[in-house]
């Protein structure tokens, strides 16, 4: 997992509440568990004018000209600004995979669905919950200023606005430490690799019959 320390990112809008994971990644794309390659299918039903299917050449599909993520001004955005209850619905981790593969490293909203929030943090994406009036102020800035950028500093848990103002946010201390170090669940386990090896050796010495081949 890529570490998250400080991000100076372009902001893109998803100006709707209750965005569920089926809208983020439609069910037909869940056949793959490779964790990569889902970026072109993020918000598939909104981004394209045709119906998407796995294996399609997405570069040849007709784009929806009214969908903000297709606007030139938001190309390369790494921060998504959205409304309350983002990531609700089913628990599919593909939604976080698609967000990361698309290029988003941070999502700002008044609230998040718990399971999506957990999946995002485990995949290098920082979900930031701000007060509704702060989110509204950011939307106002976003629509008034083309190319709005924010600086997100995870070490200090702060967001710097273009005028220099600093807003603070909170994040679970354990998950914050994991993000700063770039550790997902596998990375955390591997930190104890030597202790695991020692336990396995001791366990085999104590119970050798558990490790013998059984011939029926």
Is 10 exposed, middle or buried (CB count within 10 Å of its CB: 0-12, 13-18, 19+)?
A: middle
Question: Residue 162 pLDDT > 60, yes or no?
Answer: yes
Q: What's the helix, strand, coil split of the chain in %, to 5?
A: 40, 20, 45
Class of domain 6-211: alpha beta
Q: Most distant CA pair in the chain: distance in Å?
A: 75
**Spatial separation of the C-alpha atoms in residues 197 and 202, rounded to whole Å:** 9
Which residues, at least 6 apart from 68, have a Cβ–Cβ distance to it below 8 Å?
Answer: 12, 13, 14, 15, 74
Q: Average pLDDT of the chain?
A: 92
Percent of the chain with pLDDT over 70: 96
pLDDT in tens, 173-211: 999 999 999 987 776 766 667 777 878 888 888 888 887
pLDDT at residue 20, rounded to an integer? 96
Looking at residues 83-89, what average pLDDT do you find?
97
Question: Residue 25 pLDDT > 80, yes or no?
Answer: yes
What CA–CA distances, in Å, run from 101 to 96, 117, 136? 8, 17, 27
- Cα atoms found within 13 Å of the Cα of residue 202, Cβ hemisphere only: 6
Contact indicator for 11, 138 with CB cutoff of 8 Å: yes
**Spatial separation of the C-alpha atoms in residues 170 and 191, rounded to whole Å:** 26
**Strands of the 158-160 sheet, one edge to the other:** 126-129, 106-109, 79-82, 6-14, 149-153, 158-160, 166-168
Listed by start position, the domains of the chain span 6-211
pLDDT at residue 155, rounded to an integer? 96
pLDDT in tens, 122-140: 999 999 999 999 999 999 9
pLDDT at residue 77, rounded to an integer? 98
Contact indicator for 68, 42 with CB cutoff of 8 Å: no
**Spatial separation of the C-alpha atoms in residues 142 and 148, rounded to whole Å:** 6
pLDDT at residue 139, rounded to an integer? 98
**Spatial separation of the C-alpha atoms in residues 70 and 74, rounded to whole Å:** 7
pLDDT at residue 191, rounded to an integer? 67
pLDDT at residue 157, rounded to an integer? 98
Question: Residue 216 pLDDT > 60, yes or no?
Answer: no
């Amino acid at each position: 997992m890529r570490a998250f320390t400080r991000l100076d990112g372009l902001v893109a809008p998803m100006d709707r509440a209750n965005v569920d994971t089926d809208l983020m990644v439609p069910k037909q794309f869940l056949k793959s568990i490779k964790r990569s390659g889902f970026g072109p299918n993020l918000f598939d039903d909104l981004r394209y004018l045709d119906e998407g299917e796995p294996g399609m050449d997405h570069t040849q599909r007709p784009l929806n000209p009214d969908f903000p993520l297709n606007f030139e001004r938001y190309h390369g955005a790494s921060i998504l600004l959205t409304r309350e209850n983002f990531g609700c619905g089913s628990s599919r981790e593909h939604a976080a995979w698609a967000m990361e593969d698309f290029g988003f490293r941070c999502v700002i909203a008044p609230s998040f669905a718990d399971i999506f929030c957990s999946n995002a943090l485990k995949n290098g994406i920082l979900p930031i919950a701000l007060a509704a009036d702060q989110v509204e102020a950011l939307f106002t800035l976003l629509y008034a200023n083309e190319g709005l950028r924010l600086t997100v500093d995870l070490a200090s848990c702060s967001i710097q606005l273009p005028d220099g103002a600093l807003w603070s946010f909170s994040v679970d201390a354990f998950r914050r430490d994991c993000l700063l170090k770039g550790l997902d669940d596998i990375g955390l386990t591997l930190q104890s690799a030597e202790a695991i090896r020692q336990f396995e050796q001791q366990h085999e010495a104590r119970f050798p019959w558990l490790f013998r081949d059984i011939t029926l």
